Structure 1
Amino acid sequence: MTLDILAYGAFFLSMALTYAIISLGLNVQWGMTGLFNVGIAGFVAVGAYTSALLTTPPVADRFGGFDLPVIIGWLGAALVAGLLSFAIGALTIRLRSDYLAIATFGVAVTVQLCMLNLQGVTGGAFGIGFIPRPFASLQGNSLLFSLANLAVIALVVVLLHVALQHLAKSPWGRVLRAIREDEIAAQTLGKRAIRFRLQAFTLGGAIMGLAGACQAHFIGFIAPDNYMPILTFQVWAMLIVGGSGSNRGAIAGAVLVWGLWALSAAAVSAFIPADQQARAASLQIVAIGVGLCLVLLWRPQGLFGETAASIRLALKRSTARKE
């Protein structure tokens, strides 16, 4: 019994940390730069399908099946999602925040339609199965298998956190914050806002693609239903709860919101009759919404988000360094 609880705990944390990776990507775009991306599900899906096509065994009626190592699939997922983000950003990054949101939502819808209709590539509504899972030889021992996967995903999160913290404190990160706070003022200082915004959008999209690949290989199966707009809502809730502009907050928010999501799902399964569970599943969204409202009433900036005073202090220090 104890081993089963530990195995489930490792599984829960592994799933939460894959969402933490997506939340870190969104934090680069929104928290650091102020780019309003509501097409998160599309970028995650591109990463997941890219890695799946690169690493699965050959299949007669489907493109892909190159049977490459998992690490190649993950790198390919980040690269393809990053290139897609760059292409989309080059066309839309000059738009105002509301128009950028509409454009990114259109991208997510387009990706969703491609997943459903390009059956020779994506498998259509049936998706792609038999995605290789790291440490597959340990599947006979559920605890060791779960802990090994948790260690890998935790390592990815730690490395990303360290790298993004370094970027945030670098001149590049300070320029992004300056653009977020006052783009016109940043331009008067000689900073090309469009170029920096495009870089941030591309980096955030690549991180989301990497997260999609991690999820695909952790679960072993992907389908279009995994990348519905509810995924975008979940990630935005995670970042807002944890604190926009904070990498630590992005990770903490992902764990907390995923915990609330899993707890509400368990409650629906335990207390709602089976024939009514599909309708009652909407209670999960209600639970996330209520939790989000409570956090915003208690701490409008999120658990670890930047306050107005901290932003002014950072800008003051940045100015002092230049002088």
Structure 2
Amino acid sequence: MGIETFAYAAFFLTMALTYAVICLGLNLQWGQTGLFNVGIAAFVAVGAYASAILTTPPTPDRVGGFDLPILVGWAGALVASGLLALFIGWLTIRLRADYLAITTFGVAVLVQLAMLNLEGLTGGPFGIGFVPKPFESLQGDAIAFSFANLGVVILAVLAVYLFLERLVRSPWGRVLRAVREDEVAAQALGKNPMRLRIQAFAIGGAIMGLGGAVQAHFIGFIAPENYLPMLTFQVWAMLIVGGSGNNRGAILGAVLVWGVWAASAAVIEQLFPSGSQARAASLQIVLIGVALCVILMWRPQGILREIKTVSRHALGTVRNAGSR
């Protein structure tokens, strides 16, 4: 019983942290830049499929299968999702709010249709199986295997978190927030809001793709049904609950919402053992929605609110002015 508990705890945290990587990408796009992306599933799917195609062994019924190391697959996921986000951003970033949301949702639908119909590359509705997992040699020892995979995912989250923290505290990050708050003022200071938005959208999309790749290698199987619009809803709920604009909030929100999702699935299974999957999924959405409403009533800015970051030079100027 103890071994099963530890193994499940490791599984739970690993899944939650894969969503945390995706949520960190969304936080750069929305929390720092104000870009309303509802096509998250598209970038996650492209990253997952790119990594799976690069790392799985070749098969006679599918193009690809290069049997490369997992790290190469993750790098490929970053590049593929980043290029897609760069292209979509270049085409659509002039759109605002609801128009950008509609466009990115259309991209997600297009990517899903491509996954379903490009059977020679993606496996079609059957997906891609036998995606290699880190430390496969440890599969005989459930505890060691689970915690080894958890350690890899923790390192991935930590690397993305530190990268984004350094990025958003840099002059580039401060200009992003300036564009988000007052585009006209930023433009008057000689900044190019369009270019900055495209850059943030591309980097955020690349991070989402990395999250999809990490998740694919942990699960070991991917299919188009894994990347339905529900994924977008989950990630948005995670960011809103944790705190938009705060990278630690994005990670915390991912763990909390995934916990509610997993717990609600267990409760629904006990209450409706013979219920359909559609009913169970609907009840889970309702529970997440209720939790989201409670959080927003309690803390409208999320559990961890955005930390205001100012330039050290500006802070020094303010202090000197105060001393005079």
| TM-score for both structures, normalised by structure 1 | 0.96
CA distance in 1, matches of 2:235, 2:118: 27
Number of the residue aligned with 1:60: 60
Shift of 1:280: 3.1
Number of the residue aligned with 2:269: 269
Number of the residue aligned with 1:48: 48
Number of the residue aligned with 1:227: 227
Say whether residues 1:78 and 2:74 are aligned partners.
no
Number of the residue aligned with 2:119: 119
CA distance in 1, matches of 2:83, 2:277: 40
Within 5 A, what are the aligned runs for 1:77-226? 77-226=77-226
CA distance in 2, matches of 1:85, 1:195: 13
Amino acid at match of 2:61: D
SS in 1 for 2:205: helix
CA distance in 1, matches of 2:275, 2:180: 48
Number of the residue aligned with 2:259: 259
Shift of 1:273: 2.8
Shift of 1:269: 1.3
Shift of 1:278: 3.5
Amino acid at match of 1:224: P
Deviation sequence 1:51-103 (CA, Å, 0-9, x none): 00000000101011000000000000010100010011011111112111111
Number of the residue aligned with 2:301: 301
Say whether residues 1:240 and 2:240 are aligned partners.
yes
CA distance in 2, matches of 1:211, 1:280: 26
Residues 170 and 321 of structure 1, relative CA distance in 2, 3 Å threshold? farther
Number of the residue aligned with 1:31: 31
CA contact (8 A) 1:22 1:207 kept: yes
| TM-score for both structures, normalised by structure 2 | 0.95
Number of the residue aligned with 2:19: 19
Identity, % of aligned pairs?
Answer: 67
CA distance in 2, matches of 1:294, 1:258: 16
Q: Mark the runs of 5 or more structure 2 residues left unpaired by the alignment.
A: 319-324
Misfit runs of 4+, over 3 Å:
275-278, 314-323
SS in 2 for 1:234: helix
Q: Mark the runs of 5 or more structure 1 residues left unpaired by the alignment.
A: none
CA distance in 1, matches of 2:313, 2:85: 29
Residues 322 and 43 of structure 1, relative CA distance in 2, 3 Å threshold? farther
